[in-house]
Every structure is written in C-alpha cells, then in structure tokens.
Amino acid sequence: MMTKQTVALLTITLLVLGFGARAIQAQTKSLAPISAWVLNTDGRKGSSTNATINAVVSQIPSDVRQVSYSDSNVYIKTEGIPTYPVGPFGDGNPSIPTARNHTFRITRNPQPATGTHTSAPLGMIGVHVNGVPFYSALDARSYRNQNIWHQNALFFELSGLDAGPGHPSPDMQMTNGILGGTYHHHSLPTSLLKQIGAMSATQHSPIIGFAFDGYPIYGPYGYANPNGTGSITRIRSSYQKRNITRRTSLPDGTQLTTNQYGPDVSAQFPLGAYAEDYEFISGSGELDAYNGRFAVTPEYPNGTYAYFATIEADGTNAYPYLIGTQYYGVVTNDNNRQTVSIPTTGLSTVAMDIATVNAASYVKDALAAGAIASLFGTSFSTTMANASGTTLPTTLAGVALQLTDSTGTARDCPLFYVSPTQINFFIPEQVATGAAILKVNKADGTASSTVLTINAVAPSLFAADASGKGLAAAIIQRVKANGIQSYEPVVRFDSAQNQLVAVPVDFGAASDQLYLVLFGTGIRARSAVENVKVVVGVGAQEVLYAGDQREFVGLDQINLRLDRSLSGLGETSISVTIDGKAANQVKVLFR
C-alpha cells in the first residue's frame, strides 16, 4: 500500500526545492506611491498616427523608466511620453512631443498645509502613473493679459487636444531641428484608463497620478461614503457655473472696474470659458475647494486625503478637472522642478528584470498569502542552496527577502531554494491583500525591489513535470467496499522515454470508490468549499476538501469524489475555479 510520499509529492518537493526551475522573461505608510506606476519593462516606445510626430515619438521609451524610493520619497524617471498614440493636434500647435528626461520626486509622507495653501502654478502640477505630467485647468493666458479673467484650457485649447486628451506645451525648445514640447493632460486621461483597464463605473477608480504635494489623484468613481461604505458612485466637484451674463465681478464678490470687465457671456465666450466663471459651493458635490476629500480607498484602507478627476453625468469633464487652484498639502520647491537630484545612497530601485510567479502555475502575480512563489532574475547569489528540514530559513546562500504589504507591515519570507537566477519562497499567511513590495537582499550586499499584488486566493495546480501544464501532480485514493484504502500514482517516470508518462486511472470493481487528490498552492484562504468548482472533462465533480495539505509548507490540496462516468475518457483536462478565479489546467488519463 502506498502512502502520500508518492511520485506526485516527490515531484512537488523537487519543484519547491528548485529542481523544477524554468526560465521566464494609525495610518501606516501606503505602498501606493511605489506600486502605482506603469513601468516600461519591455522597451516599448511612443507612437502616433501622424507620420511627422511618429518619426519622433517612436524613438522615445514610453511610460515610466525607473522607480526608486527611500523611506521619505519616491523618484520617478520618465521621458513623459505615453504608450497610447499622441497627436495629431488640430489647432496649429507647432510643437511635437519630445523626450523630456523628467525626474520627479513624490513624498511618501504628504502633510496638509496649514495657513495659506500653495497656488497650483501654470505648467506641471503633478504626474500621472504613466509618467506623463498634468497641468492645471488654466492655460497661460488671460483676457487682455490683465491676469483677472483666466482662460480655461479645456475651452480655449480643446481643438488642439488629441484622443488622450493631451497636447504638447509650446515650449519652443529646438532639439535636432524639432520644435519640442512637453506632452501633458489637463483633465481625466481616458486613454490612460483604457491602457490600465480601468474604465468601469461600478468599481472604485484606480490612482491615476500624484500631485506635487504627494497626495494621490483617483479617477472619477469612489465609495459613496468617505468611510469606504456604500455603493460606487461618481465623485462630484463642488464647483458650479455662476449665474451671470456679464463678467463684472469675481466669484468672491469683488466688484471690478469697467476696464477690468471680462467679455460678456456669449456664444464666442460661453459661461465656463474662464476660471472665474465658476464658484465653489460647499456641499454641492462630495469634494472640497481643492477637489479632494479624506476618504478610505482600496490603496489606503485607513484613509487618506485624495483628489479626484471629476466628470459630469454625461462623461464630459467637470471643472476643475484634477485639482483646484491650490494644493491641499505642503509642496516643496523640489517637487515643482522638472528635474530633481536623486540621492546616491539609501535608495531601493524597483527592478524591471525581476519576475514573480506562482510556483505551481508560473502565472505572473498569481500570488496569495500562504502560497509558494518563485522569483526569477539575475545575480541573486553565487551558489545554489536548498533548505533542509521543515523549518524554513529566512536567509539562504546569503539571500534574504522582505515583503512589505499594503498595511506597511514588513515580514521576512521563508526560503526553499536559492540560485543565481531563481528564488523559491513562501508568502507568509499574515500578509494583507493588495499592493506589496518585495525587497531582495542579494548575496553581494546589493538590493532591488519588485512590486507585487497579493490576492485573497490565487488557485494554482502543480503539474507533474513542473511546467504548470500537462499531467497533474496528483494521487488517486481508492476505497474498497470493505474499507481498505490504497493510494495510486497518476504519473510514472519512463526511463526508455526519459520522461514522465501518465498512469491510467482504472475505476476497477463497481464497488470501488475513487478520489482524486490534486496538489496546488494559493488555495487555502478560499471562502466556502461550495465556492470551489472542479470540472473534469465536461462534468462537475464533488469537492470534499480544499485547503492546507499540512505536511509541506505552502502546499494545498483539493480532494474530489470521481464519478464513474469518467471511465474511458482518456486524457482529460481538469478545470478548477475558486471564488471566481480560475487555476491553470492540468490533465489526468482515464482508462
């Protein structure tokens, strides 16, 4: 009679130890300023449907090139060019978006301003998560250049915006014969939302950028109640158009002299053409005069002050679009500079050459607390080492991993295996869901980091050959009518073929009951067992257990009662869905 120390479990053990390696290409401090960015990990470049513009931007790396961080700040390096197409620009703007070599500094410890708040300047007031700057609601002009009636950029520059919507500022900087400009947005960048898959009006909008005071800017949808309860709703601006036909006074009631009047409200200069056409009416929307509120968000479960990109019910942009005329928080001079100096010490860099996958399925970011994961990269160590015993070390071959979760809590990760190019590790069960930073302390004393997403469950099944597909790493439990139990493998090693081959599942006597035990990881935190669905071939099977295997760290198992109708199906795929998330498919051969 066989025990659970079968070919399947031995295969899993070898995988976890690294022999299955394969190559792949109090409010706590939030990780959002580190994890929110759209990193360019594949060398992609900008593009345009306009040949002249495309000749320039197609040579420029798009999105964010590098994220470095310390305890206090995050440093973003970007050329300011998005991945989505830019241009054409229909208002005769002579500038072409060009590489700007921006380095922005975003504080990780934003503080509300006391006393007088800093005015949002003309030009850059923050940066979107793809590295594209955003400007205020105003352009650089005012009526008669009197600095009284300030032009609304979305009215006066509307014809020059592309589908982003964005355009280059007329910086008039000539580089290699090109009149360069800084590409930027003044309002909700819908093309960015499409790029990151965040167009839904039924889910909380993601962070789309950070203002230079360090506070996040979200898309237009959030929780109805600031405490994180209620349905998802459109978060409304509290700015309203004034009830005026002549521009003779300012929103604060100041009466102007005749020579300070703006143009009468007309078809040429409709209400809303100037910033002073709007007044703040407290309580008319959810947001304050800075276009933000203190609220619970997915990235800040304890709450944060946050700006929102505002839209009307019909989807058009709502003034002041991103932030108000002043910042809510403290802004330092360095944040307003186009380029800041990056410290040479005390920094960690979010590495682009590191990939973290589920150790069973090899699916990127299919990670959960209590699961086994694999990290691939370069120069982790100079030697290969396996953990011995059931108590896993947190340092192996001079390498250590530290995982900081969405609550800001840092934990050391137990290690199974370390080599120069691969680390297999266990994600502690106490880790919170959401964004996380995994810091790799390498054997040579250097460190690099990568951004992860920790899910509640990440169901993944081990394959017998450690490929994440093909024959299952599983065993058959047979129970005879007299109660005698035995265990049978579903794979064996064929020395002639030098590979693992299927052992057919034979249902045997009509009185025999067969159970299939699948091994995986990322399963144990599932909700009710009723939410574990397993289909073998085309038929759903009864799930008896899904959870911790209790012998190997991080290993989970699913026990199924097999229906005899599976007999004779041959090689059959197994599909597992847990709490709505699908696992990788594996196969079993039925005689």
- The phi and psi torsions of 13 (rounded to 5 degrees) equal -60, -45
Q: State yes or no: pLDDT of 259 exceeds 70.
A: yes
Range of the domain at 470: 461-590
CA–CA dist 259, 327 (Å, integer): 31
Residue in the block written with tokens 């934990």 = 411
Residues 436 and 320 in one domain: no
User: Which among 418, 424, 217 has a CA at the least distance from the CA of 329?
Assistant: 217
Report whether 459 contacts 577 (CB < 8 A): yes
166 with 224, same domain? yes
Residue 72 has a CB neighbour count (10 Å cut-off) of 12
Q: Are residue 492 and residue 585 in the same domain, yes or no?
A: yes
Pair (358, 388) in one structural domain: yes
- Band of pLDDT at residue 569, cut at 50, 70 and 90: very high
Final residue before a domain boundary, out of 432, 456, 480: 456
pLDDT digits (tens, 9 = 90+) for 164-221: 999 998 766 666 677 888 999 999 999 999 999 888 999 999 999 999 999 999 999 9
Q: How crowded is the C-beta side of 468, counted as CA atoms within 13 Å? A: 19
Q: What are the structure tokens assigned to 492, written together? A: 């064996």
Per the structure, the count of domains in the chain is 3
From residue 78, give the alpha-carbon distance in Å to each of 189, 220, 339, 349, 585. 17, 25, 10, 14, 39
Q: Is residue 284 part of a domain?
A: yes
**Which tens digit of pLDDT belongs to each residue from 107-117?**
999 999 999 99
Write out the two tokens for 264: 């009468």
Beta strands in 161-285 (DSSP E): 167-168, 173-175, 178-181, 183-184, 207-211, 216-218, 221-223, 232-234, 239-241, 278-280
**277 and 190 within one domain:** yes
Judge whether 345 lies within some domain.
no
Of 209, 199, 423, nearest in space to 321 by CA:
209
Q: Give 309's contacts (C-beta < 8 A, 6+ positions apart).
A: 187, 188, 205, 208, 217, 218, 219, 220, 321, 322
The answer on 275 and 205 residing in a single domain is yes
Pairing of strands 207-211, 124-128: antiparallel
pLDDT band of 93, cuts 50, 70, 90: confident
- Asked whether residue 513 is assigned to any structural domain, the reply reads yes
Are 116 and 183 within one domain?
yes
Residue 32 lies in a domain: no
Is residue 69 situated within a structural domain? Answer: yes
- B/e letters for 126-156, b = 16+ CB within 10 Å, e = fewer, are bbbbbbbbbbbbbbeebbeeeebbbbbbbbb
Domain end marker among 412, 441, 456: 456
Residue 410 has pLDDT above 70, yes or no: yes
Residue at token pair 């009468």: 264
Q: In angstroms, how far apart are the furthest CA atoms of the chain?
A: 104
Residue 196 covered by a domain:
yes
Which of 389 and 163 is assigned the larger pLDDT?
163
Confidence of residue 389 (pLDDT cuts 50, 70, 90): confident
Q: Does residue 241 sit in the same domain as residue 305?
A: yes
Q: What is the pLDDT of residue 349?
A: 77
| 288 lies in some domain | yes
Same domain membership, residue 85 and residue 50: yes
**pLDDT of residue 147 exceeding 70:** yes
Q: Within this chain, do residues 77 and 197 fall inside the same structural domain, yes or no? A: yes
| pLDDT over 90 percentage in the chain | 77
Q: Which of 70-74, 173-177, 488-492, 584-588 has the lowest mean pLDDT?
A: 173-177
Q: Which of 312, 336, 360 is the last residue of a domain?
A: 336
Give CA–CA dist 229/110, Å, rounded: 24
Q: Does residue 33 lie in a domain region?
A: no
The answer to whether 480 touches 516, Cβ cutoff 8 Å, is no
Identify whether residues 428 and 467 lie together within a single domain: no
User: Do 397 and 286 belong together in one domain?
Assistant: no
pTM: 0.74
What value, to the nearest 5°, has the Cα angle with vertex 109 and ends 337 and 401? Answer: 105
Q: The domain spanning residue 382 has which CATH number?
A: 2.60.40.10
pLDDT at 29: 61
